[in-house]
Every structure is written in C-alpha cells, then in structure tokens.
C-alpha cells in the first residue's frame, strides 16, 4: 500500500508540474502567436481570392521537408500537402496541394479554394469514405527568421471526390502542437503526443485524443497503465485488431538556464482497445519487448504500413550533441516490424534476378578455381575506377578518381541470414545500389501503394549547411530487389545563403517569404526564385568553389561509411567506400 501510494502521489505531482508548464508556455507564446496570427490572416486573404478548382500539370514540387504524403484510397495517386524549406536565412512555409500520378510518373498541382493555412510538421490520414477523404490536424507556422512559431489545433478534411476543403470546428480537441502523430483506426482518428514551442519555452505531450468520424466529436482518452514518456516524432501504427503501436520518438528537457538535453526514445508500447462500443472503449497502455534487431537510436525517421501485417521505418538521424556543436549521422536504411510476431528485422535488397544468377555462376566458377584458399583472397573483380576532371569556380582543375569497391568491402554491414543472399545484397549495394538508392536523410515523406514504397524529399546536413531534397524513389516491398529513381535531384543546384548580420532589417522585408508557393511570385522581393514559381531555389553557391564544397561533403560520407563499416575497418578502406558513395551521389 505504501509503495502504491507513493507512486500515485508521484504521478499526481508530475501531472501538476505538466499543467503548470503548459500554462507558462501558453502565456509566453500568446504574444508570439498573436503576431503570427496577423501574418497568417494575410496569407488566408490571398488564398480567398481563389474561387475555382484548377488542376494543372506541373514540374515536381520544390525541395521541402515535414510535409505529408498519403496514398489515395481509391486511385493510383499520392497526395502531397504543405511542408517547409530553409535556405540559410529564410523559412518558407507551404499549403500547396500536389497529386503524383503513379502510372504516368507525373505531377499535377491542385488549387482548391479556402485551403488550410500554410504549415509543416502536421499530420494527415486518409479514409475511404465517400470517394476518399484526407484529414489534416495541427502542425506549425514559423516566422521568416525561424524564431517564432504558431502551433495549429485546427482539423480539416479534403473531400477527394468533390475536391473541396472543409474545416471541422469541433470542441474538446488537442491543444495546438506539431510533431504529433495521427492515424485512422476503425472509425476514429487517434492523435498522440507532439510538442509546443515558443521562443523561450517548450513542452512535450503524451496525451491521447480520439476524433469520431461518424459523430464528428473529440474525446480525450484516459488509458489505464503506464503511458509512454512525452515525445514527438514517434512511430504510430494501427493494428488490424484496432490497437495502436508506439515506438521511439524524441523529446528534450531543460537541465539549466538556456541548456537543453535531447533524448532519443527507443521504447515500444501497445495502446489496446478494450470493449466493443465506439464511444465506450476502454484503453490500456502496456510495454512491448520485441525480439529481433531493433533500429539503431534515431529521430526524424519516416513510417508507413507495409504488406504482410508489417510496418516499416525509413531513414532518420542520430545527433551527437556537444556543448557548442551538433553532429548528425543520417540513415537510409529500412527496418520492418512484424506485428504478429512482435519482431524487428532490417530489410535486405536482393538485386535483380538476372544479376543474382550471373553472380552465383561467377562465384561458383571462382570458388572452383581458387579452391580452399578462396575466402582469404581478395575479390576477383577489380574495383571500378572513374577518373573525372572538375573545373572549380576559381579556375582550378581538380582531378577526381572515383573508386567503386567490390562487394567484399561492404561485408561487415550485411545482416542476411543466408550466405548466398548476403553476397548478393553486398554486390548490389556496393556495385549498383549506391547509384540509385535514396541518400541518407531525415524528415522524409513515405507512402505505400499496392505494396510499393515511395520516398520523397527530406533533408541532410553537411557542416552548417542544410540540404533539402525533392527526389522521389520507389521500392517494391514484395520483391525487395532494388530501388527505382522516379525523380532525380542534384543537391549542388540548391541555393544556400549564409547568415546575415542585419537580420532585423531583413525580417521586415522578408515577411512575405514565410508563405512560399504562388504568392512568392506576387511579392516584390528580389529573391532568387524561379519565374514559374515551381522551383524557387536556383543554383547559387556564393563565395564557395565546387572543389571546397565537394571536400566538405566527403567528410559527411566519411562519417557515414565509418558508421556502416564499424570501428574495426581500416581507414584506407573506409576512405575508398566514402569516396565512392559521395562521388556516385554527386555525379553530374
């Protein structure tokens, strides 16, 4: 009794502390949000000028992250909404709606009157009701300098059949937040976690809300059991039985004035529905202890439902926090979680069948010729060398030798259960896969349609520079053979502006810059934006030669190669792999 009483008292104390922090954050954020509300209202007045639905073919969306990408429930289409872009000085927010036609491999822009305000880090879920509906909740709007934030608590639905937006005004919903997670489960939308941040304070949530898709009402759930710690950016997956799985996420705590400490969560929970009534369900939290190989700790990963009662996790970043710096290792790997077996395992690509047969025959012949000593010999295939001359902006001619190593160099990072498939995966990854697989990234968007995974956009960092992506890749999750490049992007073409010393003066002039999209064309700013308004970020690298840029990117790939090959790998071998990865990715 004594221990239980202490636990109850401790739990109530934590609830009181959380309530106080929420009030404190709310008070300090109120002034900031009032300023941003006026800016958002200006943008909405511009959107109100749209009176007709217009769908037009267009180039691919401009680079962005933290948008939403969903599969149409009835058509072979993907739906992209919102997102953000940062060019080193300004933050751009979007509320554009794009449709990707899978069979045509083409994009269309869909302009619909009265859309939701510009936002990023929101959540979207699709349901098949009435020809398909796209539901959107929450997210954030940032000032152009990225120092003020407005967190939405609005709920919108896009009726896909009639191409109309509708705001659902229902009381009792979650507070304003971003980085939360939302899934459609049975006839409900379930919202968990997220965070709210002002210029000086922040708060992370672990509350759970349900929105009934029949009655259009919110309810706050009060599950029994020990809930996950507050977090954002976690994996949230519904099960066929109507339960919810939570994995990982990120949160931070203030350990002293102006000093915050981040936490990468790696725990896993099940939110189980007990009872049959739609509004009378009793929910219970319980901790899961999965078997297999769990993903390495990371944040910024993307998740999607996969075939065979599985869900998948793609990419992310593991930040090494130092006192005055933040170094990140980015990922492009895939992990599957089997919900029936409660088991994690890493994905392994097999490569095309024709290539696998050729490699098998080649290995058999080489093994017969080499006899028993073959495992100790170096791979019989010579590494592929590509010599290229690059002329830097200052006129310097730089000779680059690109070395793509043979498959044996990647042996340490293979985790296949069968030796035959292990070699195939290594050769595909070493000789072919590097040229087509998505580069390591965080905050990417993923969707699955007909058993095919689509990965769009995201970002990675090179030193102090953030590279925002707009490429599109696909992977057949049934065959698991190789990635396909549907849309390419050269990061060297992306604008990056160094921080200006006159930020305050620029803030007044750059207010329009936070909007992104069409209205950037209407503004009088002399920013480097595309005349058609689709690609706003031209090829500019002020004050930096291409040779210097390439050298800086190689440091990133060197860290990545080391993380994959392990500390036991020789420096020379790691350098070769890093050079091959970097040069292959940045090849013109």
Q: Phi/psi at 563 (nearest 5 deg)? A: -65, -35
Query: Is the distance from CB of 295 to CB of 312 less than 8 angstroms?
Result: no
Cα separation, 559 vs 549, whole angstroms: 16
Query: Is the distance from CB of 558 to CB of 578 less than 8 angstroms?
Result: yes
Tens digits of pLDDT across the chain (588 residues): 444 454 454 455 556 565 655 665 555 556 666 677 877 777 777 777 788 999 999 999 999 999 999 999 999 999 999 999 999 889 999 999 999 999 999 999 999 999 999 999 999 999 999 999 999 999 999 888 878 889 999 999 999 999 999 999 999 999 999 999 999 999 999 999 999 987 778 999 999 999 999 999 999 999 999 999 999 999 999 999 999 999 999 999 888 877 888 899 999 999 999 875 555 579 999 999 999 999 999 999 999 999 999 999 999 999 876 655 567 899 999 999 999 999 999 999 988 876 666 666 666 666 666 555 444 444 444 445 444 444 434 444 444 444 444 443 343 444 444 444 444 444 333 433 344 899 999 999 999 999 999 999 999 998 888 999 999 999 999 999 999 999 998 777 788 887 654 444 444 444 444 555 544 444 433 333 443 333 443 333 434 444 444 544 555 566 666 666 666 667 777 777 777 766 655 554
What angle do helix axes 353-370 and 419-427 make, rounded to 10 degrees?
110
Cα separation, 345 vs 467, whole angstroms: 30
Tokens at 257, concatenated: 């004035």
Label the pairing between strands 310-321 and 302-306. Answer: antiparallel
Cα separation, 46 vs 55, whole angstroms: 19
Task: Kindly list the structural domains of the chain, giving each domain's residue range(s) and its CATH number in brackets, ordered by start.
Answer: 26-349+437-493 (2.120.10.80), 546-587 (no CATH)
Cα separation, 72 vs 124, whole angstroms: 12
Q: Please tell me the predicted confidence (pLDDT) of residue 261.
A: 87
Q: Please tell me the predicted confidence (pLDDT) of residue 207.
A: 97
Owner of token pair 């209205």: 519
Q: Identify which of 108, 121, 130 has the alpha carbon closest to the alpha carbon of residue 53.
A: 108
Cα separation, 213 vs 188, whole angstroms: 5
Q: Where are the alpha helices (DSSP H) in 120-235?
A: none
Q: Identify which of 94, 188, 95, 176 has the alpha carbon closest to the alpha carbon of residue 138.
A: 176
Query: Is the distance from CB of 158 to CB of 136 less than 8 angstroms?
Result: yes
Q: Identify which of 107, 142, 108, 102 has the alpha carbon closest to the alpha carbon of residue 122.
A: 142
Q: Please tell me the predicted confidence (pLDDT) of residue 280.
A: 59
Tokens at 70, concatenated: 């969903």
Cα separation, 216 vs 212, whole angstroms: 5
Q: Please tell me the predicted confidence (pLDDT) of residue 321.
A: 65
DSSP string, 66-122: S-EEEE-SSSSEEEEE--EEE-SS-EEE---EEEEETTTTEEEEEE-SSPPPS-BS-
Cα separation, 467 vs 454, whole angstroms: 20
Number of other residues whose CB lies within 10 A of the CB of residue 572:
8
Label the pairing between strands 465-476 and 484-487. Answer: antiparallel
Cα separation, 85 vs 326, whole angstroms: 20
């Amino acid at each position: 009794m004594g221990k239980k009483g202490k636990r109850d008292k401790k739990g109530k104390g934590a609830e009181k502390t959380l309530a106080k922090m929420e009030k404190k954050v709310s008070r300090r954020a109120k002034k900031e949000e009032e300023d941003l509300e006026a800016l958002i209202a200006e943008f909405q007045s511009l959107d109100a000028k749209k009176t007709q639905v217009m769908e037009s073919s267009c180039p691919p969306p401009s680079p962005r992250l933290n948008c939403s990408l969903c599969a149409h429930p009835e058509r072979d289409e993907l739906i992209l909404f919102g997102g953000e872009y940062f060019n080193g000085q300004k933050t751009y927010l979007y509320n554009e709606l794009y449709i990707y036609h899978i069979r045509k491999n083409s994009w269309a822009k869909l302009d619909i009157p009265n859309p939701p305000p510009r936002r990023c880090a929101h959540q979207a879920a699709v349901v098949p009701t009435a020809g398909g509906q796209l539901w959107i909740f929450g997210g954030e709007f940032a000032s152009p300098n990225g120092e003020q934030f407005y967190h939405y608590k609005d709920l919108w639905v896009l009726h896909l059949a009639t191409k109309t937006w509708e705001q659902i005004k229902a009381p009792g919903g979650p507070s304003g937040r971003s980085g939360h997670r939302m899934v459609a489960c049975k006839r409900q939308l379930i919202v968990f976690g997220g965070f709210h941040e002002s210029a000086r304070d922040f708060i992370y949530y672990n509350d759970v809300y349900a929105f009934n898709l029949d009655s259009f009402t919110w309810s706050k759930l009060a599950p029994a059991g020990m809930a996950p710690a507050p977090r954002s950016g976690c994996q949230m997956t519904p099960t066929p039985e109507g339960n919810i799985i939570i994995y990982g996420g990120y949160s931070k705590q203030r350990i002293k004035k102006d000093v915050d400490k981040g936490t990468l969560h790696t725990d896993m929970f099940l939110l189980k529905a007990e009872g049959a009534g739609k509004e009378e369900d009793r929910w219970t939290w319980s901790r899961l202890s999965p078997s297999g190989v769990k993903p390495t700790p990371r944040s910024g990963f993307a998740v999607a439902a996969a075939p065979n009662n599985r869900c998948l996790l793609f990419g992310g970043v593991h930040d090494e926090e130092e006192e005055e710096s933040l170094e990140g290792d980015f990922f492009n790997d895939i992990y599957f979680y089997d919900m029936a077996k409660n088991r994690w395992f890493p994905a392994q690509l097999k490569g095309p069948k024709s290539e696998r047969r050729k490699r098998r025959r080649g290995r058999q012949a080489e093994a017969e010729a080499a006899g028993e000593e073959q495992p100790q010999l170096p791979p019989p295939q010579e590494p592929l060398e590509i010599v290229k001359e690059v002329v830097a902006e200052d006129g310097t001619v730089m000779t680059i030798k690109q070395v793509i190593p043979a498959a044996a160099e990647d042996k340490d990072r293979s985790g296949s259960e069968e030796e035959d498939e292990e070699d195939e995966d290594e050769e595909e990854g070493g000789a072919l896969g590097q040229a087509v697989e998505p580069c390591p990234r965080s905050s990417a968007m993923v969707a699955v349609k007909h058993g095919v995974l689509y990965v769009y956009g995201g970002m990675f960092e090179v030193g102090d520079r953030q590279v925002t992506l707009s490429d599109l890749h696909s992977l057949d999750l049934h065959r698991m053979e190789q990635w396909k490049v549907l849309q390419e992007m050269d990061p060297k073409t992306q604008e990056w502006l160094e921080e200006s010393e006159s930020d305050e003066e620029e803030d007044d002039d750059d207010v329009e810059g936070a909007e992104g999209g069409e209205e950037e064309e209407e503004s009088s700013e002399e920013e480097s934006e595309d005349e058609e308004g689709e690609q706003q970020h031209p090829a500019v690298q002020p004050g930096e030669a291409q040779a210097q840029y390439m050298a800086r990117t190689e440091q990133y790939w060197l860290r990545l190669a080391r993380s994959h090959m392990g500390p036991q790998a020789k420096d020379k071998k790691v350098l070769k792999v890093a050079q091959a990865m970097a040069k292959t990715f940045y090849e013109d």
